[in-house]
Amino acid sequence: MTDEILLDAEDRMDKAVVAFESTLATIRTGRASTKLVEHISVEQYGQSMSLIQLATLSTPEATLITVQPWDKSSVNAIMKALQTSDIGIMPQSDGSMIRLPIPPLTEDRRKDLVKQVHGKTEDARVAVRNVRRHAMDELKKQLREGELSEDDEHRAMSEVERLTQQHVERLDSIARQKEQELLEI
């Protein structure tokens, strides 16, 4: 029974790390990445769709993202969505393709983005700690119900702590790497 709790906790912590990585991918560095725009919601065909469902995204240059809509009638809707998004890049269109030139980051903007990374890192740590708390509560519940001995509970709690520490270190490592990307000129 403790194995199930530990496996569930590890799986949920892994998912928190993956979610954190995908969240950080949306933070703009000095290089172009399609992850910056693929999540943007576009009103098209009477519903809200993500940009990646409507167009081919590519990065032909280090400072350029191109958006090639599959349906040319969706160019205006995509332009509007890009202009109202929070990415801070002005799209340019030639009627069939949209170009997003990535301007170099100013020092102040880099510092703001680093602060965003720190905030998102703390959110991810909280998510991992919530998984730890849930696993600990389950172990205590099993101890109270007599399904687990105190020694087994102690061993399992130590394992949960080890998993938590391991995942927090992974989060910190990913955050440091992103911070280095942001501060690199």
Give me the residue spans of the domains in the chain.
2-26+106-183, 34-101
Spatial contact of 37 and 28, defined as CB atoms under 8 Å apart:
no
Q: Which CATH class is domain 34-101?
A: alpha beta
Q: Is 85 exposed, middle or buried (0-12, 13-18, 19+ CB in 10 A)?
A: middle
Q: Which CATH class is domain 2-26+106-183?
A: mainly alpha
Write phi, then psi, for 132 (nearest 5 degrees).
Answer: -60, -45
Question: Which of 1-15, 25-39, 77-91: highest mean pLDDT?
Answer: 1-15
Residues 140-168 have pLDDT tens digits of: 999 888 888 888 889 989 999 999 999 99
User: Does residue 13 register a pLDDT over 80?
Assistant: yes
Lowest mean pLDDT among 4-8, 85-89, 128-132: 85-89
* 116 or 25, which is more confident: 116
34-101 matches 2-26+106-183 in CATH topology: no
State the Cα–Cα distance between residues 24 and 174, nearest whole angstrom.
9
Q: At what angle do helices 107-144 and 150-183 cross, to 10 degrees?
A: 170
Q: How many residues does the chain have?
A: 185
Query: Mean of the pLDDT values across residues 13-39?
Result: 81
Terminal Cα-to-Cα distance of the chain (whole angstroms): 51
**What residues form DSSP beta bridges with 50?**
41
Indicate the pTM of the whole model: 0.70
